[in-house]
Amino acid sequence: MSDNKVYRASTTAPVNIAVIKYWGKRDPKLNLPTNSSLSVTLSQSDLRTHTTASCSPKFTYEDSLLLNGSPQDVSGARTQACFRELRALRKKIEAENPSIPPLSTYPLNIVSENNFPTAAGLASSAAGFAALVRAIADLYELPSSPTELSRIARQGSGSACRSLFGGYVGWEMGSAVDGSDSVAYEVAPASHWPNMRALILVVSAAKKGVSSTTGMQTTVATSALFPARANEVVPRRMKEMEKAIAAKDFETFGKVTMRDSNGFHATCLDTEPPIFYMNDVSRAAIRIVEGINNAAGKTIAAYTFDAGPNAVIYYLEENEKAVAGLFKAMLGAKEGWGGNRGVAVPVNDEAMVKVESHAAAVATTLKEGVSRVILTSVGEGPMKTKDSLIDEAGEAIH
Ligand code: DP6
Supply the CATH number for residue 127's domain. 3.30.230.10
Atom 12 (ligand 1): residue with closest C-alpha? 159
205 shares a domain with 180: no
Instruction: Check pocket membership of 158 for ligand 1, CB cut-off 6 A.
Output: yes
Instruction: Quote the ligand 1 centre to 159 CA distance (angstroms).
Output: 5
136 shares a domain with 45: yes
Give the domain CATH number at 212.
3.30.70.890
170 is a domain residue? yes
300 shares a domain with 210: yes
302 is a domain residue? yes
Instruction: Check pocket membership of 21 for ligand 1, CB cut-off 6 A.
Output: yes
Q: Distance of CA 173 to CAs 34, 153, 159, Å? A: 7, 14, 12
Residue at which a domain ends, from 138, 169, 189: 189
Atom 1 (ligand 1): residue with closest C-alpha? 306
170 shares a domain with 250: no
Q: Quick one: which of 306, 324, 300 has its CA closest to 203?
A: 306
The phi and psi torsions of 58 (rounded to 5 degrees) equal -85, -10
Which positions ≥6 away from 262 have C-beta within 8 Å?
none
Residue at which a domain ends, from 189, 223, 254: 189
383 is a domain residue? no
Q: Quick one: which of 9, 54, 153, 167 has its CA closest to 394?
A: 54
- Confidence at residue 353, expressed as pLDDT on a 0 to 100 scale: 60
Q: Quick one: which of 158, 156, 159 has its CA closest to 133?
A: 156
Q: Quick one: which of 23, 18, 45 has its CA closest to 33?
A: 23
What's the CA gap between 373 and 58, in Å, rounded? 45
Atom 5 (ligand 1): residue with closest C-alpha? 158
- Confidence at residue 355, expressed as pLDDT on a 0 to 100 scale: 64
DSSP 82-129: HHHHHHHHHHHHHHH-TTS--GGGSPEEEEEEESS-GGG---HHHHHH
2 is a domain residue? no
Instruction: Quote the ligand 1 centre to 344 CA distance (angstroms).
Output: 32
114 shares a domain with 184: yes
Sheet arrangement for strand 37-41: 16-20, 37-41, 168-171, 184-188
- Confidence at residue 118, expressed as pLDDT on a 0 to 100 scale: 66
Query: Using CB atoms within 10 A of its CB, is residue 393 exposed (0-12), middle (13-18) or buried (19+)?
Result: exposed
**Which parts of the chain register pLDDT below 50?**
none
229 shares a domain with 180: no
- Confidence at residue 2, expressed as pLDDT on a 0 to 100 scale: 67
| ipTM over 0.90 threshold | yes
Domain range for 114 is 7-189
336 shares a domain with 207: yes
Half-sphere exposure of 296 (CA within 13 A, CB side): 20
165 shares a domain with 256: no
299 shares a domain with 223: yes
Instruction: Check pocket membership of 130 for ligand 1, CB cut-off 6 A.
Output: no
215 shares a domain with 239: yes
What's the CA gap between 301 and 297, in Å, rounded? 11
Q: Which atom of ligand 1 is nearest to the CA of 37?
A: 18
* Widest pairwise Cα distance in the chain: 78
Instruction: Check pocket membership of 212 for ligand 1, CB cut-off 6 A.
Output: yes
158 shares a domain with 252: no
204 shares a domain with 258: yes
The total number of structural domains in the chain stands at 2
Pocket test for ligand 1, best of 35, 79, 159, 305 (most atoms within 8 A of CB): 159
